[in-house]
Chain A
Amino acid sequence: MSPDNYLYLAATLFTIGTIGVMIRRNALVAFMSVELMLNAANLAMVAFALARGGLDGQVATFFVMVVAAAEVVVGLSIIITIYRTRRSTSVDAANLLKL
């Protein structure tokens, strides 16, 4: 089986992830959308690994998982810290970037 279908699925998941980041206001859900994008990329790499006959794609996926774990730990800590001070997980509430 060609990797095309896997790639289309990965593209669809990635797109859904980007839309999620843009429209969901809950920081946790937006964060999950980011995870979905990472997973989509992982899927594409694993599919390519199969198609090209090398394990390097799987190794890369493994590293992405490690990095994602680290990222989630720090990201969730940040969300908790913000929640502690603002009593909200809405990303709209954190608009201090505006003058």
Chain B
Amino acid sequence: MIGQEITFWIVAPLMVLGALGLLFFRKAVYAALSMAFVMVNLAVLYASLNAMFLTFVQIIVYTGAIMMLFLFVLMLVGVDTPDSMVETLKGQKFAAWVAGIGMLGLIVFGIGGALAGGPNVGLDEANAAHGGNVESLAALIFGRYVFAFELTSALLITAAVGAMVLGQHARTRPKPTQRDLAANRMREYAEAGAHPGALPNSGVLAQHNSIATPALLPDGTVSEASVSNTLAERGSIVDSVALSRATAAVFDQIEAGKAEEDDQ
């Protein structure tokens, strides 16, 4: 029993601190982590309370599945901006604290006071009935509470279907077909003069063939459409005019050499 008390007095303050973290952390991620911390500690308390099955369920289902689901959703909706702690409802925070402390008083004074000092039987006998905690729980769940257990299956199925329904996008317009896309392209060409066909490839030159190399038009100018906009904005385009200039110089040399040979 002394081990149980020591465990409690170590774990309980940590749990309260973790729970208070839920109130005071401005970033939701921190709140979620402190919540996970509380739940792990709760699992420890379950263990000290002779509830080994629940300890594992608490860790696997609650901490492992549910809290991770929370974190996943947090990631989905964005974690960058910390919540503002400035209260928008007038007097809400003060009234909430007063009501909360009143609630605590009510529970401790009314309910806790009424139950305090009862007998403390312990679970040894109950666990021993079927050879262990898990076996005894199983006997209860599949015995006396089997109907409730079956009902939970319906609940879980319903929840899964509900989550799917809620998570689905409803298509607001019909999916465009090839024909629609083609018609769109031609319409844009007619109205705005947009190029209807495929864009030109990037340039393939003597010294470069990366996608950052713009293609050259027959008159020697650069075709802007041949490189991605993103690369263009970053300024990481190879200067194709300079490239063409080098080529032109080589051609010039070759021409000059040829002319001399002809002269000779």
Residue pair A62, B100 in contact (C-beta under 8 Å): no
Interface size class, chain B: 35 or more
Q: Does B260 contact A (CB under 8 A)?
A: no
> Given contacts A2-B120, A80-B77, is CB(A66)–CB(B45) below 8 Å?
no
- By the criterion CB–CB under 8 Å, are A65 and B19 in contact? no
A-contacting 9-mer, from B136-144, B199-207, B232-240: B136-144
Residues 87-109 (chain B) with a chain A CB within 8 angstroms: 87-89, 92-93, 95-97, 99-101, 103-104, 107-108
Stretch in contact with the other chain, from B62-70, B176-184, B220-228, B241-249: B62-70
Q: Is the CB of B103 within 8 A of A15?
A: yes
A46 contacts B51, CB within 8 Å? yes
Say yes or no for B12: interface residue by CB 8 A criterion.
yes
B35 CB-CB contact with A under 8 Å? yes
Subset of 20 A-B contacts with CB under 8 Å: A2-B120, A3-B118, A5-B12, A11-B112, A13-B15, A16-B23, A19-B96, A22-B92, A22-B100, A24-B22, A25-B83, A25-B84, A28-B28, A28-B32, A31-B70, A47-B49, A52-B121, A69-B66, A70-B155, A89-B77
Interface residues of A (CB under 8 A from B): 1-9, 11-20, 22-26, 28-29, 31-33, 35-36, 39, 42-43, 46-47, 49-56, 58-59, 61-63, 65-74, 76-81, 83, 89, 92
Binding site for A on B (CB under 8 A): 1, 4-5, 8, 12, 15-16, 19-20, 22-23, 28, 31-32, 35, 38-39, 42, 45-46, 49-51, 53-54, 57-58, 61-62, 65-66, 69-70, 73-74, 76-77, 83-84, 87-89, 92-93, 95-97, 99-101, 103-104, 107-108, 111-112, 115-123, 125-127, 133, 136-137, 140-141, 145, 148-149, 152, 155-156, 158-160, 162-163, 166-167
